[in-house]
A and B are shown apart, each in its own frame.
Chain A
Amino acid sequence: MEQGQTISGSQAVIKVLAAHGVTTVFGYPGGAIMPIYDALYGSSVEHLLCRHEQGAGFAAVGYARSSGKTGVCFATSGPGATNLITALADAMMDSIPLVAITGQVATPVIGTDAFQEMDVLGMSLSCTKHSFMVATADELVPTLYHAFEIAASGRPGPVLVDIPKDIQLAQLEYKTPLQAVPDEPALDIAAISAANALLAQAKQPVLYVGGGVGMAGAVEPLRELSQRTGIPSVATLKGLGAVAYAAPGYLGMLGMHGNQAANHAVQQADLLLVVGARFDDRVTGKLDTFAPHAKVIHLDIDAAEQGKLRQPDVAISDDLCDVLPALTLTQDISSWQQQVAALKLQYAWRYDRPGAQIYAPALLKQLADSLPEDSVVSCDVGQHQMWVAQHMWFRRPEDHLSSAGFGTMGFGLPAAVGAQVARPGATVVAVSGDGSFMMNVQELTTIKRRRLPLKILLLDNQKLGMVKQWQQLFFEERYSETDLSDNPDFITLASAFDIPGRSISKAAEVSAALEEMLTSKGPFLLHVQIDDKFNVWPLVPPGASNSDMIEEVEIQQ
């Protein structure tokens, strides 16, 4: 199609996608988006049919997170669009670039409560970075271009474009809109000087690394800074993979289920260098006792995050790739490094648990050590998610997909689908729990349809484990609705989708089972029965300081 050619709105949608390098979209058709699906038929853009719009949204999120590209998903009006909302909210909380295109009823009937009509623009206001409803055919192409620009720029996020059916069918003259080239912002030299002045005074600095590092493509400058300065480092759930796992001063995840060494180091720090992180409550515990003696340098592209929860001494909103190389450390911190090394040794994870049962942390450590270089681990939400964060290691942030800010059960399987599509040569493992797995189990059909070779590691304790753990600790062992002993036979379930599997329950079976899973050519489900008495430790109780972590306690049942 030539520039200026008259085409339909739906053809224009596909043309804009192609112009943005979109090769795959995830979605589910329906009445109000049928013209776009018609234009999709036979086009260069591949469509992956998921079996629920939430699954399509998460698949697009998984695609985006594992590839660094913008994910795209389609849904129809009304229930199709409302089913997308959870995935949009998830993408919003974790700053994931996503463009969601929804069909809307035709403009003449908007506002009449027409069949499958919903005010999706109104619904989306709180769970998108921005949202549009296209009012005229002339607006369509510029709006879509704008949507892609907004989704990926600055702090990334989800953008929704709601397109009425008559606009999809309307004829329009296709013109590529002129896009303004933003001025390169000048680096805030004064702020960088102030940051370096604080660094020069610091005796016990800590790098607090968040998901913004990966989103900014700043992994290499961060690692260079870490190596050059030797500042000990900790990471948030989304920041895992940014710091080199084997770096001497790297202490792993901090926060509610963080490594004790990481939390103690932060509590003792006299300077926090916060890079692409936002003082989430799961990270800080009781906010006014978090790193109580530390000055703060806060680097974040989103100025609204600076001072939102902790007032920084220096705030910088420039591109991390420009700022990180300009930071220096002149102070000798060898004494602090030795203290941190001692903490790291003192609180090293232990895997020598006696007994024949499978200890999930040990299994996950073994899995991490067995994965090939090009691999992605996609998590669901719950105890297994925290064990993955604690006991697995990742080469890059995009190798670890986890619903961090929104904590969405059901995220893992469809996100793994998206990751496998984005990185077809990678070994993709969806680590799930029995509760989470059932939340989007219908996506097994998506795996079957495309014969995606992803592996599913299902940790089954027949419990809603994390909620049960809190009931044990904070609700007097009143186990309200957390028993899942009526789970289906997961191997039989997988076989109904032509996915082979194996079930294990003894530690002695782990090595062979992991090897079978990882060497299988197609999809595979490894069902692992674990003891329901295993809990996630340490734990910072709600409202407590990160200094007051609970170590493992025996629970009598």
Chain B
Amino acid sequence: MIHHLVLTLEQRPEVLERVLRVTRHRGFRVCDMRLSEQEDKRLLLDMAVDSDKAIELLSRQLDKLMDVSTCVVQGQQSMACTING
């Protein structure tokens, strides 16, 4: 299932590594990714990921990262039906 995430990131050299590492480790495959720098120098990352797992399993882990200011799941649905795979 394809999920869309929009993240606001602090401008740190390693921030993309952090996001992509967590995404891979939690079992999500990146399908599409667009990165842009905003006027306030923070980064806007628009990312589509694919997995059968509930998107909250990823979004909450990304939200925990210190360099991730916001993490919004677009078109979010309840995870209750998918949480246990």
Contacts and interface: CB of A to CB of B under 8 A. Distances in A.
Given A130-B66, A150-B66, A307 B17 contact: no
Contact residues on A (Cβ < 8 Å of other chain), bracket:
10 to 19
A307 B56 contact: yes
Contacts of A121: 14
A304 B83 contact: no
Interface string A298-315: 000011100111110000
A125 B84 contact: no
Interface stretch (B30-38, B44-52, B57-65): B57-65
Contacts of A302: 64
B61 A288 contact: no
A543 interface: no
B83 A307 contact: yes
A308 B43 CA distance: 28
B25 A126 contact: yes
A309 B79 CA distance: 12
Contact residues on B (Cβ < 8 Å of other chain), bracket:
10 to 19
A304 B63 contact: yes
A303 B18 CA distance: 19
A307 B64 contact: no
A307 B79 contact: yes
A150 B80 CA distance: 31
A319 B61 CA distance: 20
B54 interface: yes
Contact of B14 (A125, A150, A308, A311): A125
Contacts of B84: 287-288, 309-311
Contacts, number: 35
Contacts of A303: 60
Contact of B83 (A122, A125, A129, A311): A311
B21 interface: yes
Given A307-B54, A310-B84, A311-B83, A125 B60 contact: no
Interface string A488-513: 00000000000000000000000000
A452 to B, nearest CB: 36
Contacts of B66: 129-130, 150
A77 B57 CA distance: 34
Interface in A113-155: 121-122, 125-126, 129-130, 150
A125 B61 contact: no
A125 B21 contact: yes
Interface in B60-81: 60-61, 63-66, 79-80
Contacts of B63: 304
A302 B61 CA distance: 10
Given A150-B66, A287-B84, A311-B83, A304 B14 contact: no
B59 to A, nearest CB: 9
Contacts of A130: 65-66
Given A307-B54, A308-B57, A122 B17 contact: yes
- Looking at chain B's contact residues, the main secondary structure is helix
Nearest to B83: A311
A309 to B, nearest CB: 8
A126 B21 contact: yes
Contacts of B57: 307-308
Interface in A303-346: 303-304, 307-311
Contacts of B83: 307, 310-311
Contacts of B61: 304
Contacts of A304: 60-61, 63-64
A122 B60 contact: no
A311 to B, nearest CB: 5
Contacts of B54: 307
A80 to B, nearest CB: 21
Contacts of A125: 14, 17-18, 21
A288 B80 CA distance: 14
A150 B64 CA distance: 11
A311 B60 contact: no
A26 B50 CA distance: 44
A311 B79 contact: yes
A150 B67 CA distance: 12
Nearest to A303: B60
B82 to A, nearest CB: 10
Contacts of A150: 66
Nearest to A121: B14
Nearest to B61: A304
B52 to A, nearest CB: 15
Contacts of A307: 54, 56-57, 79, 83
Nearest to B24: A126
A125 B56 CA distance: 21
Contacts of B79: 307, 311
A23 to B, nearest CB: 27
Nearest to A308: B57
A288 B85 CA distance: 10
Interface string A17-58: 000000000000000000000000000000000000000000
A309 B84 CA distance: 6
Nearest to B20: A125
Interface of B: 14, 17-18, 21, 25, 54, 56-57, 60-61, 63-66, 79-80, 83-84
Interface of A: 121-122, 125-126, 129-130, 150, 287-288, 302-304, 307-311
Given A125-B17, A126-B25, A310-B83, 19 more contacts: A121-B14, A125-B14, A125-B18, A125-B21, A126-B21, A130-B65, A130-B66, A150-B66, A287-B84, A302-B64, A304-B63, A307-B56, A307-B57, A307-B83, A308-B60, A309-B84, A310-B84, A311-B79, A311-B80
Which 10 A-B pairs have CB atoms at the shortest separation, nearest pair first? Answer: A304-B60, A311-B83, A130-B66, A125-B21, A304-B61, A307-B83, A304-B64, A311-B80, A125-B18, A303-B60
